[in-house]
């Protein structure tokens, strides 16, 4: 406790300076002193005791009643000291927990990492931003043996760490499907059974799954209760809603997922979103889907990854923007 | 914003009237109340006329309630949904598995 000792003599010094001069600058030093003692975990009763010792030296003939009152004050301060110690322990625990959540979030990122396949005919961009540390959105790309692109975007209802585990399950299920079976209706049907059997009650998944035929530029898609997605049509300069009927994953065992298809022509692009995008609040209102599409159009001439990035930044810059839910935006553009 | 939950009996039907917003903060209290009601009463109607906003956490509550009511062979019905709340049931395909009264109301001011 040598540092405490040096502080004690310092305290006495400060106190005597103040009693002589009543100088405000010394009061400021007292404030600095208290910050130092907090850093060194010195409890309030120790400081009162210090004050008492210092006074005894500075005022040798102190009244006995005053002395006794200090004993009384020191006793009173002891429970403050204990509360303070408890506070310190909780703070340390909080730091520990936060770092564990950080580790979990990192693990999630590593586990769920998906490589964006590289094509010359199409250009793919993704932006996914969690509202909290753990992301409840998930997206995944698969390239089949013929080179076609499978793309999934999902939102797990029920957030945080359980959602992250659920997504790992979905990822490994998606990767286990053999290469010639990745038509959307089949993928969602199979995933639904996996999720129904394995997910704890109260957790559900919405997913939009698409298969982009790289040779014919047909886009096949199915939806498991997911927000509608969009295709920008270059000939009409308008967005077309693409949606298919299908229940959320994990609610019932036997579900038929409708599969639809559309032709992507040169200059068209596909926009896949999670509903977090439209659940953002701007002050006291919600963002409308049309506003998101309008912003996407603003950046449409950029490469896909820049479109996704810029759309998110655009909203982030706006005042009163409140990211309530995780956001994922995927853009797939046909180049040639 | 809070969620106000109130239940009363109308003949054979137990009516649960909700008013406010259903989100991650209010869903737990709704879940507790609704699951208990569905467990004990043969016919439960949930009146959502005064629910202006619901997020996906709310869907989770109704799916759990649906499960419980099926197990018990009880009836659960949602009535008086505002348009934006109905939209959520429609998108997720839940309107096919949950009994939802058809009269969809516009947004209350």
What the block records as the tokens of B102 is 């058809």
Which helix (H) or strand (E) segment holds residue A57: the answer is helix A44-58
Q: Is residue B92 part of a domain?
A: yes
Hunting for tokens 């310190």 — which residue is that?
A: A88
List of chain A residues whose C-beta atoms are within 8 Å of the C-beta of residue B91:
225-228
pLDDT at site B109: 36
ipTM of the complex: 0.81
- B19-37 pLDDT tens trace: 999 988 899 999 999 999 9
B87: nearest CA partner in chain A = A227
How close does chain B come to A280, measured CA to CA in Å? 11
Q: In terms of Cα–Cα distance, which of A321, A320, A305 is closest to A269?
A: A305
Q: Is residue B109 part of a domain?
A: no
Of all residues in chain A, the percent with pLDDT exceeding 90 is 39
Phi-psi region of A20 (alpha: psi -120 to 50; beta: other; left: phi over 0): alpha
Q: Helix %, strand %, coil % for chain A, to 5?
A: 50, 20, 30
- A221-270 pLDDT tens trace: 999 999 889 999 999 999 999 999 999 998 888 999 999 999 999 999 99
A118: Cβ contacts below 8 Å, ≥ 6 apart: none
What CATH number is attached to the domain comprising B45? 3.30.750.24
Q: Is residue B63 part of a domain?
A: yes
A225: nearest CA partner in chain B = B92
CATH 1.10.1240.30 domain range(s) in chain A: 2-104
What the block records as the tokens of A25 is 């600058």
List of chain A residues whose C-beta atoms are within 8 Å of the C-beta of residue B93:
224-225, 245-248, 255
pLDDT at site A304: 92
Q: In terms of Cα–Cα distance, which of A206, A322, A169 is closest to B60?
A: A206
Largest Cα–Cα distance in chain A? 101
Nearest-angstrom CA–CA distance, B20 and A330:
33
If one counts the domains in chain B, the total is: 1
CATH 3.60.40.10 domain range(s) in chain A: 115-334
pLDDT at site A291: 80
pLDDT at site B107: 47
Helices (H), A112-248: 160-176, 184-198
Residue A136: is its pLDDT beyond 70?
yes
Higher pLDDT pick, A330 / A111: A330
Question: What average pLDDT does chain A have?
Answer: 85
Residue A189: is its pLDDT beyond 50?
yes
Residue A332: is its pLDDT beyond 90?
yes
The mean pLDDT value for A58-62 works out to 89
Phi then psi dihedrals of residue B75, to 5 deg: -110, 135
Of A157, A248, A252, the CB nearest to B57: A157
Burial track A248-282 (b if 16+ CB lie within 10 A, e otherwise): bbbbbeebebebebbebeeebbbbbbbbbbbbbee
List of chain B residues whose C-beta atoms are within 8 Å of the C-beta of residue A225:
91-94
The most confident of the ranges A74-83, A271-280, B3-12 is B3-12
Pick from B91, B96, B97 the residue to mutate for testing the A interface (most A CBs within 10 Å): B91
Q: Is residue B80 part of a domain?
A: yes
Q: Residue B90 belongs to what domain range?
A: 3-100
Length of chain B: 109
Burial track B15-51 (b if 16+ CB lie within 10 A, e otherwise): bbbbebbbbeebbeebbebbbebbeebebbbbbbeeb
Considering the four listed CATH numbers 3.40.50.300, 1.10.150.80, 3.90.1150.10, 1.10.1240.30, the one that applies to the domain covering A2-104 is 1.10.1240.30
Q: Is residue B67 part of a domain?
A: yes
CB–CB of B94 and A248 under 8 A?
yes
Nearest-angstrom CA–CA distance, A121 and A213:
11
How close does chain B come to A246, measured CA to CA in Å? 6
Assigned CATH class of A115-334: alpha beta
Q: How far is residue B90 from each of residues A224, A245, A255, A306, B95, measured CA to CA in Å? A: 12, 9, 16, 33, 5
pLDDT at site B74: 93
Q: Establish if A248 touches chain B: CB-CB under 8 angstroms.
A: yes
């Amino acid at each position: 406790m040598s540092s405490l000792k040096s502080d004690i003599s310092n305290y006495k010094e400060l106190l005597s300076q103040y009693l002589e001069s009543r100088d405000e600058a010394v009061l400021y030093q007292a404030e600095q002193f208290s910050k130092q003692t907090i850093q060194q975990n010195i409890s309030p009763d120790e400081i009162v005791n210090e004050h008492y010792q210092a006074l005894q030296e500075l005022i040798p003939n102190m009244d006995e009643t005053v002395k006794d009152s200090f004993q009384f004050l020191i006793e009173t301060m002891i429970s403050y000291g204990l509360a303070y110690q408890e506070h310190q322990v909780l703070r340390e625990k909080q730091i520990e927990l936060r770092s564990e959540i950080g580790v979990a979030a990192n693990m999630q990122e590593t586990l769920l990492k998906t490589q964006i396949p590289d094509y010359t005919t199409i250009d793919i961009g993704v932006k996914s931003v969690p509202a909290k540390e753990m992301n409840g959105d998930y997206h995944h790309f698969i390239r089949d043996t013929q080179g076609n692109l499978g793309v999934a975007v999902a939102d797990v209802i029920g957030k945080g760490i359980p959602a992250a585990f659920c997504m790992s399950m979905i990822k490994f299920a998606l990767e286990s499907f053999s290469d010639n079976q990745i038509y959307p209706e089949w993928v969602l049907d199979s995933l639904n059974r996996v999720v129904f059997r394995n997910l704890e009650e109260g957790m559900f998944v919405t997913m939009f799954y698409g298969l982009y035929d790289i040779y014919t530029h047909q886009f096949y898609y199915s939806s498991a209760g997911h927000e509608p997605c969009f295709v920008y049509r270059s000939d009409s300069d308008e967005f077309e809603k693409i949606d298919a009927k299908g229940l959320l994953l994990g609610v019932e065992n036997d579900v038929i997922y409708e599969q639809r298809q559309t032709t992507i022509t040169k200059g068209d692009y596909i926009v896949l979103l999670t509903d977090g995008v439209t659940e953002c609040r701007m002050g006291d209102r919600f963002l409308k889907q049309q506003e998101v599409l309008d912003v996407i159009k603003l950046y449409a001439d950029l490469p896909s990854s820049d479109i996704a990035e810029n759309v998110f930044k655009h909203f982030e810059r706006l005042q009163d923007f409140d990211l309530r839910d995780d956001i994922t935006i995927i853009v797939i553009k046909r180049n040639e | 914003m809070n969620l106000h939950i109130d239940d009363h009996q109308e003949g054979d039907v137990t009516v649960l009237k909700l008013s406010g917003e259903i989100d991650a903060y209010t869903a737990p209290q709704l879940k507790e109340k609704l699951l208990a009601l569905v467990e004990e009463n043969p016919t439960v109607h949930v009146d959502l006329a005064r629910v202006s906003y619901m997020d996906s956490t709310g869907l989770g509550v109704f799916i759990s309630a649906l499960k419980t009511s099926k197990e018990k062979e009880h009836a659960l019905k949602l009535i008086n949904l505002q348009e934006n709340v109905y939209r959520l049931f429609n998108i997720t395909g839940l309107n096919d598995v949950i009994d939802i009264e058809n009269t969809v109301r516009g947004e209350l001011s």
